[in-house]
């Protein structure tokens, strides 16, 4: 369309809450944040001492204003963006898609191709045997239990999802903590599976991927630690550990 766009974003993955970005740990303020809901109500969060407050208010506005809305946030200069953005994410997404499509066309394993392109590790393949789901304040919470198949026969996995994957445990031991990424892929096609598609009996391949270093830099700041805290998805006693410390294959 001839419109310029920055080849990068604030995560390199998806996340459920507004404050969960690389920006917030690199000196970029989330506020002022204007919001408008489906009914036309306008709210502006001018300042917020706690990084989680704008998102909490925004969810209230949207859920009470027709279930749909829009906002704008993280005003910054070009120089700040260069220092804070997770770079090349559009390019990487396009390359990943082409890699998966090529693997399908060539008859090779698209999950293996995606795993290599992501620099990840295939941790588990299995089928969903149980799900617990709940809607709360604009979020869709899901607890997913899986039973292993193939090389994982007899083993189990559990995913904690808050719109997106937050936590992965294998055989009762934690193996990936947000913002490190767990990709839910469809075996045989390598297609990414959205959380709303999950159902008992569905087969998944779980690929773990390191998050970008700029997210880890954000986590090391006081505001970033609060913004990304596991308390946001129900685990206040849990602390982030890099996936390299939890998964031997990354070492």
Residue 140, domain member (yes or no): yes
- Could you list the residue range(s) of the whole structural domain that residue 171 is in? 109-212+235-250
Q: Hey, how many other C-beta atoms are within 10 angstroms of the C-beta on 167?
A: 22
Give the phi and the psi of residue 159 in degrees, each rounded to 5. Answer: -110, 135
Residue 88, domain member (yes or no): no
Look at residue 67 in the predicted model and tell me its pLDDT: 87
Residue 242, domain member (yes or no): yes
Residue 191, domain member (yes or no): yes
Residue 141, domain member (yes or no): yes
Residue 192, domain member (yes or no): yes
Give the largest Cα separation in the chain, rounded: 54
Residue 147, domain member (yes or no): yes
Interval 147-182: pLDDT, tens? 999 999 999 999 999 999 999 999 999 999 999 999
> Average pLDDT, whole number, for the chain?
94
- When pLDDT is averaged across residues 182-195 and rounded to a whole number, the result is 96
Number of H helices, E strands in the chain: 7, 12
Query: Are the C-beta atoms of 200 and 128 separated by less than 8 Å?
Result: yes
Q: How many domains does the chain have?
A: 1
158, β-bridge pairs: 145, 169
SS3 at position 23 = helix
CA atoms lying within 13 Å on the CB side of residue 247: 23
Look at residue 123 in the predicted model and tell me its pLDDT: 97
- Between CA 57 and CA 19 the distance in angstroms is 12
Q: Please report the DSSP string for 25-71 in residue order.
A: GTT----SEEEEETT--EEEE---SSTTHHHHHHHHHHHTTTS-EEE
Residue 200, domain member (yes or no): yes
199 pLDDT band, cuts 50/70/90, is very high
Type and span of the H or E element at 93: helix 89-106
Q: Tell me, what CATH number does 113's domain have?
A: 2.40.390
């Amino acid at each position: 369309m001839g419109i310029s766009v920055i080849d990068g974003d604030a995560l390199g993955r998806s996340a459920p809450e507004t404050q969960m970005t690389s920006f917030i740990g690199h000196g970029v303020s989330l506020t002022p944040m204007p919001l408008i809901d489906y009914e036309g109500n306008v709210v502006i969060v001018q300042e917020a001492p706690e990084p989680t407050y704008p998102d909490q208010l925004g969810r209230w506005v949207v859920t009470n204003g027709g279930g749909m809305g829009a906002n704008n946030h993280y005003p910054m200069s070009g120089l700040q963006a260069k220092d804070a953005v997770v770079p090349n994410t559009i390019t990487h997404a396009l390359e990943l898609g082409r890699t998966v499509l090529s693997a399908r066309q060539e008859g090779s394993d698209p999950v293996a191709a995606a795993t290599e392109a992501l620099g990840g590790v295939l941790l588990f393949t299995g089928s969903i045997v149980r799900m617990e789901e709940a809607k709360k304040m604009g979020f869709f919470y899901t607890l997913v239990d899986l039973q292993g198949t193939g090389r994982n026969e007899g083993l189990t996995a559990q995913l904690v999802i808050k719109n997106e994957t937050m936590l992965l445990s294998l055989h009762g031991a934690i193996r990936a903590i947000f913002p490190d990424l767990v990709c839910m892929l469809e075996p045989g096609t390598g297609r990414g599976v959205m959380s709303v598609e999950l159902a008992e009996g569905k087969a998944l391949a779980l690929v773990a991927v390191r998050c970008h270093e700029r997210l880890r830099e954000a986590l090391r700041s006081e505001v970033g630690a609060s913004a990304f805290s596991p308390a946001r998805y129900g685990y206040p006693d849990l602390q982030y550990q890099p996936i390299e410390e939890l998964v031997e294959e990354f070492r």
